Amino acid sequence: MSEKKTALVISAHAADFVWRCGGAIALHQKLGYEVTIVCLSYGERGESAKLWKQGATLEQVKAARRTEAENAAAALSAHDIRFMDLGDYPLDVDRDAKMALVEIIRAVQPKFMMSHSLWDPYNTDHMGATRIALECRMIAQAWGHNPGQKVLGAPQLYLFEPHQTEQMGWKPDVFLDISEVWDQKRAAIECMEGQQHLWDYYTNLAQNRANHFRRNSGGQAGGRAAKYAEGFQSVFPRTVDEL
């Protein structure tokens, strides 16, 4: 029996996973992975301006963003989505929350993980989420943490593309062709009714990254005709037997 393939996405806010790695989620589900999404917050304070302008209460904003994220996860066929409700602006992850995230990581045993760029001066919640992802990945690898549990191996952490990329020190070294699942990603994008101003931005970005995929898969000499792609930056060296 083959070992189960899993992946884990750690999203600072409830919409981040949609814009930045929705294609990767849908594609890997199609490839037989079980992809779990963890939303550290709903993005209720900082990323829900439309709802606040309509006079919604805090609980109404949270409920609306949760529904949007659940609908988006379903559109991507994600295996599971979990909400930690840690608050945003600022994202405040205490020791108990870290230990809860470690438990999720150990339960999922991801073959790879995804989170935000290491630097984001426009939204410190994003880089905070990645710092926490790295810390909890480390703890999950420790044999002395809750001895008897299955420890984590060494999953790659892929950093998905931030907004205003050129300001973030983010340098992609992986381009993923998501053309065959683009319709799912676009459907997930349209679930994010509170941030409609980003729908076309991330559609255009996927088309631009497809151009980079084509050039780096053979360029004018016959690169693969990707129409939509996502870019990622790997944190750890990748081990290979041949190039």
| Residue 239 belongs to a domain | no
pLDDT digits (tens, 9 = 90+) for 41-100: 999 999 999 999 999 999 999 999 999 999 999 999 999 999 999 999 999 999 999 999
Q: What does pLDDT average to over the chain?
A: 95
User: What is the pLDDT at residue 220?
Assistant: 63
| Residue 241 belongs to a domain | no
| Residue 240 belongs to a domain | no
Could you list the residue range(s) of the whole structural domain that residue 35 is in? 6-234
Per-residue pLDDT band at 190 (split at 50, 70, 90): very high
Q: Give the predicted TM-score (pTM) of the model.
A: 0.95
* One-character DSSP codes across 33-80: -EEEEEES---TTTS-HHHHHTT--HHHHHHHHHHHHHHHHHHTT-SE
pLDDT digits (tens, 9 = 90+) for 164-180: 999 999 999 999 999 99
Q: From the CB of residue 222, how many other CB atoms can be counted at a distance below 10 Å?
A: 9
Per-residue pLDDT band at 221 (split at 50, 70, 90): low
| Residue 205 belongs to a domain | yes
The domain total for the chain is 1
> Tell me, what CATH number does 149's domain have?
3.40.50.10320
| Residue 79 belongs to a domain | yes
Residue corresponding to tokens 């994220």: 69
User: What is the pLDDT at residue 222?
Assistant: 65
pLDDT digits (tens, 9 = 90+) for 11-56: 999 999 999 999 999 999 999 999 999 999 999 999 999 999 999 9
| Residue 184 belongs to a domain | yes
User: What is the pLDDT at residue 1?
Assistant: 46
| Residue 242 belongs to a domain | no
| Residue 61 belongs to a domain | yes
